[in-house]
Chains A and B, each alone.
Chain A
Amino acid sequence: MSQDTKRSSKVLNRRRLLQGAGAAGVAALAGCSSNGGNGNGNGGNGNGGTDQIQFPLEIQLETNADNDDRVQLVELIAESMEQTGYFETSVETYEWNTYSGRVLDTEYADEGHIPCIGLSGTFNPGSFCDALHHSSNHGQCCNLVGVSNAELDDMIDSARFGSTEIAEDPEARGAAYDEVWRMLADERYSSITHFGLNTAVANMNVHGFASYPFDETVYSYALHAPFDEQVAWLDESGASPNDTDLSDLQEGGTLRVGVGANIDSFDPPYSTDTTSTMAQGFIFEGLTATDAEGIVYPWLAESYELVDTNDIERVAYEDYMITVDADEDGVIDTEEQVIVQHPEDDPVADDEVRVLTPEEAADAVADDVFGMQYRYELHEGVEFSNGEELTAEHVVNSLRRYENSDLSAQTFDSVLHIEEVDEYTVDIFGQVVDAEGERELPGFLIFTEEQAQAEGGEIDPRQEFTPIGTGPYVLDDFSDEQFAEYERNDNYWLEDIGVENLEWFDGPSDFPNAPVIERLELEIIPDNATRSAALQNDEIDVTTGLTSATLDDFDESDDFFVYSVEAGGYDYIQYPLDVEPWDDKRLRQAVNHLVPREAIVSNIFAGWASEAWTDIPELARGAGTADFDALEDEIRPTNEFDPERAAELIEEVIEDRGYPMN
């Protein structure tokens, strides 16, 4: 989109937005007075029974108050619905914790409201359909309205689990997901409004920078990612950052990064926030690495292969399981990591549950009972920054450190067992055949022997325990709430091996073996406005997480460059399909046609987002569709802003069901 178009549409839409906000306010008031005043026994907001349903239909849209963009988005949708004359909308906002508690409650589905919430998807296409629509996610994140469609559940599950063909063939998997997207377009339980962009703003000294879909890895990716031939450097000569030819590359310098939160921990399994993960990413590495499209490459592993699969379900571990007590909150009485819990047992309802812990998981694997087996051959001679040589034992102990950590639920929902084969070979076993196994199973970082034995949360300079990894940088200095400084790891393994010797590397021969920037300084600046001012005042070189309005200013400036890439964040509304008349999919489809996706993107996000014409963003397309263009051609018309089509559909509903229209 050109700047001019962006600006003119913004002006236009701001005005509409104001009208929208006003109208929504009026609508809310109107709702109140009619409830209080009519006294005819129609009972105000009642959509609860057939006899009370009438059009214009009263409907409440809800969201969390602390996200201004989301509130505006909901107001735009409400206004768009209101203008058809078929709805009397009101918008209700809640403080985040109140809101999340409210919408994650199973009984929320019966209240008949339209909630709006945001989620972060990943390269896994399932992250754009499973949480929202799988019946198992009702009452937890984030099937808010109780979508319960066995056929859909089965389609979502089988696009990921249980089939070797799906696991090995992205195209077959894509075709399976295409069926899911088609069904969702038809049923329209939810409307995804837009996908976020991940943006970074840098001054003109930063060359070769690129954004990455996830904040956690944006800097380590930009600094050096051979799979995408990505390398950033500093050049203060005034040359344009567009000159990214490798022959212009300059070594050295200090990159000053503004980060938006404190680094709470340098201990990977004991931190879940973005900034900590980002800060750890310069130091620690994993067996594999992922490019900007989600393709997995061997990293600390020289190579890996899927050795074996068994088409089993989790019930197959029943014979190995032990029985443990569970209290009324569902807390299971064991010190061990629960790897698999028997699918038929419910720790909240039952007094005892059958579980598989690491010991029994090893027994199962010994009997060839497992879902999948990946074998990783490590590079020989890789050293941690303290000189310790990486062996298979490190890998095994590192994964074990994730047991009962803050990340154990995510880690052990797929990993079954890890085993050292020889000094440089490990096998990781998955619980079931899982098409995400290639990405998920090696999703942990590797520690030195001492670190692998450390207490939870202990690896942290604040606890006098400096983190040590195989990564390209080492932590040089850290001050809580203030800064973290890194310098290049002189002992970086890839410099010894050489990028050109990596089996998969097909880039230019002069591509550097390691990041070329000598030092990193992470300045901790939580306030967006202050961080933006620091960037303008040349006190930092690059930052992320600025607001859309600020991004526009930087984009228009000649002194800064905005890097953006489509990311995994998305907002969606869901329809209360358990409550009449929302059980009629034509009504849901109609409202979907009233979601002004283009206005949302241009107005609220000033163009720094992309319209959700399908339910799947660019980043998950690898395995998420067999043919994206064909899918978009098919699905996009159902998501276009089309008040006329919406009116037709609503009229059909009114007519077929005999609802009165006042």
Chain B
Amino acid sequence: MSLRRFILKRLLAIIPILFGVSVITFAMVHLTPGDPIDQMIGLNPDITPADEAQIRARYGLDGPIYEQYLTWMSNVLVGDFGEVVYSGRDVSTIVIERLPETIALGIFGWVFALGIAIPTGIYAAVNKDKFGDTVSRFVALSGISIPNFWLGLMLILVMALWLGLWPVLAPSRLPLYHPEMLWFLILPGVTIGTAAAASIMRVMRTAMAEEMNKEYVTAARAKGLPERKVVLKHVLRNSLISVVTLAATLTAGIVSGSIVVEVVFNWPGLGREFINAIDRREVNLIMAITLFTGVAIIIANLIADILYAVLDPRIRYD
């Protein structure tokens, strides 16, 4: 099978996956108690059950679940993700407005994670069981263990309040594409990338260490290749396959991590919107964000699959 056919096949597979995701999410949102109307009226003694039924009917939330799902689905198929009950705003507009903020954060988190993890992983593998390796493993374990929100708050405390290097709030008047915004992406990016960096670094180290024991490495060394070349050209490339697999899986972690990070750093992205949507049981918004996230994760995995072939030409898609 050619790569093109492989990609096409994988892209087509997105459809049933998203369908499954949508059914499960829709059902789960409806199985959780409460709906947007409950949130809207809150504990209001002025509102009688009949008033409530009236409001619910006004927003089309009074039918059976399957009926609501079918309505939702038929609208989505023509590109209409519906409205937010609370503010009457268009869900697609919200997602499109917020998405770039989260993508910027995610990319920065990735760049940071890979930028830190790969060199440290190599260093740790090359210096296996030496002092540097122990330190890097300790740091990695801490990175995995520290909760995002705590790390975020600590970074704000130290970097913003104590050292004054950053403001607490990223400048909300600058557009996201302004070069200056790169500076303000650092703290949330570091927070979001830390856990991923730590995981990747550990896998990188193990994979490298394993590769280093293989015969071709001994052969390369025997051939008289400089160690640097052995490590960076041969061992690294072979070790990257497991890192790519993990990195794709960690996309989900980065997406979910963005929820907390966006709240702590007041970053107006999709994650913060998602929290609001869940709080208010805004089904349409929850569905749209879940589907976008699903697509992102599927694409990340697809890219990983393609990268396998680049890294190891022996891999064939058949």
Residues of A within 8 A of B (CB): 95-98, 100-101, 117, 119-120, 127, 130-131, 137, 139-142, 262, 264-265, 270-273, 326, 329-332, 338, 341, 346-348, 404, 406, 409-410, 413, 456-457, 460, 462-463, 479-483, 523-527, 529-530, 533-534, 536-537, 539
Shortest Cβ distance from A180 into chain B, in angstroms? 16
Establish whether residues A523 and B62, one from each chain, have CB atoms under 8 Å apart when the complex forms. no
Instruction: Report the 5 A-B pairs with minimum CB-CB distance, sorted nearest first.
Output: A97-B34, A457-B88, A131-B45, A481-B268, A482-B172
26 contacts between A and B (CB under 8 A): A97-B38, A100-B43, A127-B45, A130-B45, A137-B45, A141-B43, A264-B86, A270-B87, A331-B53, A331-B62, A347-B50, A409-B46, A409-B51, A410-B47, A457-B88, A462-B89, A480-B94, A481-B98, A523-B169, A523-B172, A526-B266, A530-B168, A530-B266, A534-B168, A537-B160, A537-B167
Additional pairs, 11, CB under 8 Å, beyond known A264-B87, A462-B89, A480-B97: A95-B33, A97-B33, A101-B33, A140-B49, A273-B86, A348-B53, A410-B46, A457-B87, A480-B268, A527-B263, A534-B266
Residues of B within 8 A of A (CB): 32-34, 38, 40-51, 53-58, 62, 86-89, 93-94, 97-98, 153, 156-157, 160-161, 164, 167-169, 172-173, 263-266, 268, 272-273, 276, 281
Establish whether residues B169 and A539, one from each chain, have CB atoms under 8 Å apart when the complex forms. yes
Q: Which residue of B lies closest to A127 (CB)?
A: B45
Cα separation A117 to B160 with both chains bound (whole Å): 38
Establish whether residues A529 and B153, one from each chain, have CB atoms under 8 Å apart when the complex forms. yes
Q: Which B residues are in CB contact (< 8 Å) with A273? A: 86
Q: Which B residues are in CB contact (< 8 Å) with A117? A: 43
Q: Which residue of B lies closest to A481 (CB)?
A: B268
Q: Out of A272, A460, A482, A525, which one reaches B42, CB within 8 Å?
A: A272
Q: Beyond A97-B33, A117-B43, is A530–B88 a contact (Cβ under 8 Å)?
A: no
Establish whether residues A409 and B47, one from each chain, have CB atoms under 8 Å apart when the complex forms. yes
Establish whether residues A482 and B268, one from each chain, have CB atoms under 8 Å apart when the complex forms. yes
Establish whether residues B47 and A141, one from each chain, have CB atoms under 8 Å apart when the complex forms. yes
Cα separation A313 to B124 with both chains bound (whole Å): 83
Q: Out of B43, B87, B169, which one reaches A119, CB within 8 Å?
A: B43
Shortest Cβ distance from A519 into chain B, in angstroms? 13
Establish whether residues A530 and B265, one from each chain, have CB atoms under 8 Å apart when the complex forms. yes
Establish whether residues A483 and B167, one from each chain, have CB atoms under 8 Å apart when the complex forms. no
Q: Beyond A272-B41, A533-B156, is A140–B48 a contact (Cβ under 8 Å)?
A: yes
Shortest Cβ distance from A643 into chain B, in angstroms? 32
Q: Out of B44, B56, B160, B276, which one reaches A410, CB within 8 Å?
A: B44
Q: Which residue of A lies closest to B39 (CB)?
A: A97
Q: Which B residues are in CB contact (< 8 Å) with A482? A: 172, 268
Shortest Cβ distance from A190 into chain B, in angstroms? 14
Establish whether residues B62 and A483, one from each chain, have CB atoms under 8 Å apart when the complex forms. no
Q: Beyond A409-B51, A534-B169, is A98–B43 a contact (Cβ under 8 Å)?
A: no
Establish whether residues B57 and A331, one from each chain, have CB atoms under 8 Å apart when the complex forms. yes
Q: Determine which residue in A130, A270, A534 has the highest number of CB atoms from chain B within 10 A of its CB, and name it.
A: A534
Cα separation A483 to B93 with both chains bound (whole Å): 18
Establish whether residues B87 and A100, one from each chain, have CB atoms under 8 Å apart when the complex forms. no
Shortest Cβ distance from A520 into chain B, in angstroms? 15
Establish whether residues B40 and A406, one from each chain, have CB atoms under 8 Å apart when the complex forms. yes
Cα separation A348 to B53 with both chains bound (whole Å): 9
Establish whether residues B33 and A265, one from each chain, have CB atoms under 8 Å apart when the complex forms. no
Establish whether residues A525 and B266, one from each chain, have CB atoms under 8 Å apart when the complex forms. yes
Cα separation A77 to B156 with both chains bound (whole Å): 37
Shortest Cβ distance from A146 into chain B, in angstroms? 15
Q: Beyond A97-B32, A142-B45, A456-B88, is A533–B57 a contact (Cβ under 8 Å)?
A: no
Establish whether residues B263 and A526, one from each chain, have CB atoms under 8 Å apart when the complex forms. yes
Establish whether residues A539 and B41, one from each chain, have CB atoms under 8 Å apart when the complex forms. no
Cα separation A333 to B7 with both chains bound (whole Å): 53
Cα separation A448 to B48 with both chains bound (whole Å): 31
Q: Beyond A409-B51, A536-B161, is A98–B40 a contact (Cβ under 8 Å)?
A: no
Q: Beyond A97-B32, A481-B273, A526-B266, is A348–B49 a contact (Cβ under 8 Å)?
A: yes
Q: Beyond A97-B33, A264-B86, A526-B272, is A329–B41 a contact (Cβ under 8 Å)?
A: no
Establish whether residues B88 and A270, one from each chain, have CB atoms under 8 Å apart when the complex forms. yes
Q: Which residue of B lies closest to A523 (CB)?
A: B169
Q: Which residue of A lies closest to B51 (CB)?
A: A409
Establish whether residues A533 and B97, one from each chain, have CB atoms under 8 Å apart when the complex forms. no
Q: Beyond A341-B50, A347-B50, is A533–B98 a contact (Cβ under 8 Å)?
A: no
Q: Which A residues are in CB contact (< 8 Å) with B50? A: 326, 330-332, 341, 346-348
Q: Which residue of B lies closest to A119 (CB)?
A: B43
Establish whether residues B46 and A331, one from each chain, have CB atoms under 8 Å apart when the complex forms. no
